[in-house]
Structures are given as structure tokens and as C-alpha cells.
Amino acid sequence: MFSNSQIDINSIPSINDVALTPISRKYLRIIIINKLLFFSMFFGILFSMKWFIDDDELQQGLPYVIQIFLVIFVLNLLVGILAFKKRKYALRERDIIYSKGLIVNSTTTVPIKRIQHIEEVRNWLSRYFGLATLKIFTAGESGSDLSIQGLPAEEARRIHDYISEKVNGTI
């Protein structure tokens, strides 16, 4: 028999009631290092332009361009640091939740039964700080549906193993 009863919205559990765990504070160092490397390339190009530009008007405007880039760098770094505090996750019995974003906050929930496979990724900087990234893939998408960066490597391994066992039906 077909049933389509109305559900009381107040009886639905709120995702806000879930205690989310912040990612490792070591990941903030990686964010800062990445931003420093990225902007140092631009500053290097700007400073080297002084020797390659012969036009006096452009030479006089170069300090202003450098100041603008410096302001953009400081603002970008500040936003990155503030946004770091919003990166949190939770592993529950039937799903995994990840929340991030300073200006636009997004919360992604992936049901464990929809997960196709999971990867644990560690680049050279993550290995140095003892961190890892979990990439979670569901059916039908190219690329990962959820990527949690900045997890302690041991914790990422435990979550990886738990989800793998849950997906394979061994627990």
C-alpha cells in the first residue's frame, strides 16, 4: 500500500546538534606556507619587473602595484586563518559530515552506504607535519565528493579503515 505521510519538521534531528571535531591546528601552518609560496611568486615577478621595464611611468607605478598586492596578500592570509577555524568534521554511525567556510559556510554530509571508495592522500608537506587528507568518492561523480584536509595521519587511517570496513560490510 502506498503511503506518503507528512513529517513533523520539529521531530527531525538537527545537524547543529552534532559535535563537530576541528581539524588539526598543524594544518594552519600548511595553509600559511601555501599562501606564502603562492604570493612570493607574484612578488618575485613584480620586483623583477623593475629591471625589465624601461618605461619611467610604469617604473613609478610599480610601488603602488606592489602595495596593492601586499594588501591583497594580507587580506587573503587573514581570511585563510579565520576560515581555518570553521573546518570541522564528524564521523557518525551512518554518515560523515564536513563543515567549512567563513563567508559562505557549507556543510556536506555523505551517507556511508553511498560511498564507493575512500583514499588517504599525503603530500610532502602533509607528511612533514604528520597530516593526511581523506578523499571520499560516491557513485556517479568524477572526482571526490568530500575531501577532509588536515587530519592527523593516524586518525585519518582509523577513519579510512572504519569506513572501508563499513562499506565492505565487515562491521
CB 151 within 8 A of CB 132: yes
Q: Are strands 95-100 and 146-152 parallel, antiparallel or unpaired?
A: unpaired
How does pLDDT run across 8-37, given as a tens digit for each residue? Answer: 888 888 887 889 999 999 999 999 999 999
- Could you tell me the residue range of the domain that residue 142 belongs to? 86-168
Number of independent structural domains in the chain: 2
DSSP character at residue 2: -
N residues, the chain: 171
> What's this model's pTM, rounded to 2 decimal places?
0.82
Rounded mean pLDDT, 3-8: 88
Domain boundary among 36, 54, 83: 83
1 in a structural domain: no
* In a domain? residue 17: no
Q: Average pLDDT of 118-132? A: 96
pLDDT attached to residue 45: 86
Domain check: are 102 and 162 in the same one? yes
- What is the separation, in whole angstroms, between the first and last Cα of the chain? 33
Q: Summarize pLDDT for 33-76 with one digit per residue, the tens.
A: 999 999 999 888 887 877 777 777 777 888 888 899 999 999 99
Asked whether residue 97 falls in the same domain as residue 48, the answer is no
Q: Is residue 52 part of a domain?
A: yes
Helix (H) or strand (E) holding 123: none
> What's the whole-number mean pLDDT along residues 64-91?
94
Supply 160's cell numbers: 579510512
Report the largest interatomic distance among the alpha carbons of the chain, rounded to a whole angstrom: 83
